[in-house]
Amino acid sequence: MHDLNGRALWPSYNDGMRWLKAVAICVLVLLAYLVGRISTFNKDLEAIQQVVAISWSDGTRGQTPAFYGAEVYATPDGTEYVVRTRVWIGRSPYYYHDPLGELGRVKTWEEAVAKWGNIQWTSTDLVIGPGDPTPKSFARSGIENHR
């Protein structure tokens, strides 16, 4: 039975299927979102577990406090760890540069912390380590030339 405009007076089978399809699509979108969040969380956790040391410093040109961050991290490579560093610029998670490259390779995590776990900022340099046999030193002028 239909009204004067030709519409059904009660829902048809197809209307119920449309509702079911809409619910199924919403459930799939929610599941995709949850899988993405869990995947991102695992990557963030992995990145945190690789950190050997991190230290923030004010810029020398009047930037906001703790503008530069030196991060030393170790990534597994076969039976050893590759120790690298990068300098974060500001607090943006995407703005960093890697002028320092690879610091060295070590056999254990403890060795990475012993060699590269000390970060010091001076007025002219960024100094990492006691290193092997000497610490690595990088000029702040080279680090702060991103502008």
pLDDT tens digit sequence for 54-70: 898 887 777 677 888 88
Band of the pLDDT at 147, cuts 50, 70, 90? Answer: low
Band of the pLDDT at 83, cuts 50, 70, 90? Answer: very high
pLDDT of 39 reads: 75
Q: Give the separation between CA 114 and CA 108, rounded to whole angstroms.
A: 10
* pTM exceeds 0.95: no
pLDDT of 24 reads: 87
The C-alpha torsion from 110 through 116 and 117 to 120, rounded to 10°, is 170
- CA neighbours closer than 13 Å in the CB half-sphere of residue 39: 6
Among all chains, which residue has been given the structure tokens 């945190």? 48
pLDDT tens digit sequence for 109-146: 899 989 989 999 888 888 998 866 778 888 888 877 76
Cβ-contact 114, 147 below 8 angstroms = no
